[in-house]
Structure 1
Amino acid sequence: MTYNTTALALGASLMAVALGGCGGATPLTFDLAALPPTGRASAAARSFTVAEPVGIQPFEADRIIVREPGGALSFLGGGQWADRLPRLIQTRLIQSLENSGRLRSVSRPGDKVVSDFQLISEIRAFDIAAGSGEAVVDLSAKIIAEGTGKVVAARVFTARVPVPKVDAGTAAVGLDAALARVLGEMVAWVNSGR
């Protein structure tokens, strides 16, 4: 399944203004895209709260990460995400679930909306694997019943997309494509009632 990366292409063309007094330019800012609306209108009776994903410290930033063959992580120069990565993934996951048209409501924990379930996740990988030349997205997710705290379902979602070179623009496009695959699987999983 392929997804339109028009939003990313637009984000890639945006150049941030130069830093005042520093003389250096801010890196290009890239966005990630939500899945497009599906046209379905059969909303279920279930509602979800989507927590911000957690992850190790490098994933808490707004920088694009490269993972070297030995496991070392470094930030890729020349590019950054439009927001902190966990908040950006949370936003695109919420939008993708809303765009599916299959849930009664989707909200953030701070929205104070009563929900049936909470979707929590962890960023296990969101980087360019320099050794294999791939954009890798690996998210683990759990559906928790509100009130009881019982884990209703748990799954790991992984996608790998080849990238022809390791630069900011190519990395951002590859990671956006890998995230689109993961979002597609996550949305189908949540909507399946598991």
Structure 2
Amino acid sequence: MSPSVITTVRALGARRSGPVLAALLALAVGACGSGAVPTTFDLTALPGAARSGAARRSIVVAEPVGLQPFEADRIIVREPGGAVSYLGGGQWADRLPRLVQTRVIQSLENANRLKSVSRPGDKVAADTVLITELRAFDIDAGRREAVVDLSAKLLQESSGTVVAAKVFQARVPVAEVNAAVAANGLDRALSQVLADMVRWINAGG
């Protein structure tokens, strides 16, 4: 890695955090080797909060479902005509559904309002199940926006009855359609969706 790359990363890292800093570090590492290696980006959970009131219930968070393009670890671009493609030069740190599931779980845990938050198969008794669907998690190239659209259902564990349902949406402007800007915009859009969803769940749906 050249001294100029190290200096640039240190200077920018002093002013940035989260997925942008991770992207810069990955870019610096990539500069030492082949330029064909895609930069890996992460998504962030909501920060922690002090407990407010008694823990109400336990919840299981299922992995989100979605159309086939969302099953991968690639950043998706949607063109004005409706065509969908993968954005070159970047990828998510995991399969998108699993990554979103992890950040939902961490955000609920950090809110500190539930008795427990777990995954299916953790063998933790729960009274509520959160089912979600990724309806959009992409860059709208025509509008230059990062779009996150997530539908959510709360099911009673004992009966499978839907007790509440809601759709959460966020759009964040992006200056350019490239991997770093797209990942940062989608992370910010997801943060808005997570904030709304966590409030909704903690309020009882």
Deviation at 1:80, TM superposition (A): 0.3
Residue 171 (structure 1) aligns with: 182
**1:93 to partner: Cα distance:** 0.2
Kept after mapping to 1: 8 A contact 2:20/2:180 = no
Number of residue pairs aligned between Structure 1 and Structure 2: 187
Other structure's SS at 1:125 match: strand
Distance in 1, Cα, partners of 2:128 & 2:51 = 21
Query: What are the ranges of 5 or more consecutive residues in structure 1 without an aligned counterpart?
Result: none
Larger Rg: 2
Structure 1 counterpart of 2:6: none
Structure 2 residue runs without a partner (length 5+): 1-15
1:114 to 122, 125, 128: 125
CA 1:74 to 1:188, structure 2 compared with 1: closer, same or farther past 3 Å? same
| Residue correspondence of structure 1 range 1-194 to structure 2 within 5 A | 6-15=17-26, 25-194=36-205
| Structure richer in helix, relative to its length | 2
Aligned-partner SS, 1:15: helix
User: Structure 2 vs 1, CA of residues 10 and 116 (structure 1 numbering), >3 Å: closer, same or farther?
Assistant: same
Give the superposition deviation at 1:15: 2.1
- CA 1:163/1:24 → structure 2, altered by over 3 Å: closer, same or farther? closer
Contact 1:157/1:182, CA 8 A, preserved across alignment? yes
Moved over 3 A (4+): none
What is the alpha-carbon root mean square deviation over aligned residues?
1.6
- The Cα shift of 1:12 comes to 1.1
CA distance in 1, matches of 2:181, 2:50: 31
